[in-house]
Copies of this chain bind each other. A is one copy, B any other.
């Protein structure tokens, strides 16, 4: 197997690349991401793609009345702007920073595309991430249809937890409402339920995961399938799929 990149990136995709592949992408521009920063503007040419190193971006559909519905989540395991790899210069969806303060590596679309055409391994890895993202979306469809809010919330918290360093998740109830497609008030109520089960603690703007295994049990079938797909097509990350 080819040698892995020596430069350590905190982005999982980049860390799976060979040093040669990484060299072909260089230089990256480092960016510090603030909450609500837009990484992909819908229906607008994508100038750069971002590889997050920390923090969370969420992917939204934007409706005509300006309201938003969450369709996916991206952290240091992924990237934004994959549409350009599918031969499209833009995306119908918005990618926006939900949890800021983190860093990211960005690269102009043009250079990414050139690198991908020169080095098939690059392209292949990123396309497998697209495969994973479709699994995530599919699971969101079924979870939204079949699960009560508590379970969907548990799933969403777990997905955030996977992508963050510690046990603290800095999200407001409003943001969670958008991601889950429910009222802000429903989020409040539901957080209290999870808190009553001693799975989390919740204070103003912060949710603390206090019983991760319990949360997984609570989420049931809704969490785990897409994550297994990630491990299968990309590889383990942050404890997920780690050797036991």
Chain A residues close to B by CB (< 8 Å):
61, 63-64, 69, 71, 83, 85-88, 92-93, 124-125, 127-128, 130-131, 133-135, 137-142, 144-146, 181, 221, 225-226, 229, 233
Give the residues in chain B near A229, CB-CB below 8 Å: 92
Q: Are A87 and B141 in contact (CB under 8 A)?
A: no
Q: Across chains A and B, which 4 residue pairs bring their CB atoms closest together, nearest first?
A: A145-B181, A86-B131, A69-B142, A86-B127
Given A86-B130, A134-B134, output 7 extra A-B contacts at Cβ < 8 Å. Answer: A61-B142, A69-B141, A71-B137, A86-B131, A87-B127, A88-B233, A133-B134
Given A138-B92, A141-B69: A128 touches B87 (CB 8 Å cut-off): yes
CA distance A63 to B142 in the complex (A): 9
Q: Are A134 and B137 in contact (CB under 8 A)?
A: yes
Q: Are B71 and A128 in contact (CB under 8 A)?
A: no
Contact of A71 among B61, B87, B93, B142 (CB under 8 A): B142
Q: Are A145 and B144 in contact (CB under 8 A)?
A: yes
Give the residues in chain B near A124, CB-CB below 8 Å: 87
CA distance A233 to B87 in the complex (A): 9
Instruction: Name which of A141, A144, A229, A233 has the most chain B CB atoms within 10 A of its CB.
Output: A141
Given A225-B92, A229-B92: A83 touches B144 (CB 8 Å cut-off): no
Q: Are A145 and B69 in contact (CB under 8 A)?
A: yes
With both chains docked as a complex, state the minimum distance between the C-beta of A85 and any C-beta of chain B, in angstroms: 7
CA distance A130 to B83 in the complex (A): 9
Give the residues in chain B near A134, CB-CB below 8 Å: 133-134, 137
Contact of A141 among B61, B133, B221 (CB under 8 A): B61
Instruction: Name which of A83, A124, A125, A133 has the most chain B CB atoms within 10 A of its CB.
Output: A83
Q: Are B142 and A141 in contact (CB under 8 A)?
A: no
Give the residues in chain B near A140, CB-CB below 8 Å: 141
Find the B residue at minimum CB distance from A84: B131
With both chains docked as a complex, state the minimum distance between the C-beta of A188 and any C-beta of chain B, in angstroms: 19
Find the B residue at minimum CB distance from A68: B142
With both chains docked as a complex, state the minimum distance between the C-beta of A89 and any C-beta of chain B, in angstroms: 10
Q: Are A131 and B225 in contact (CB under 8 A)?
A: no
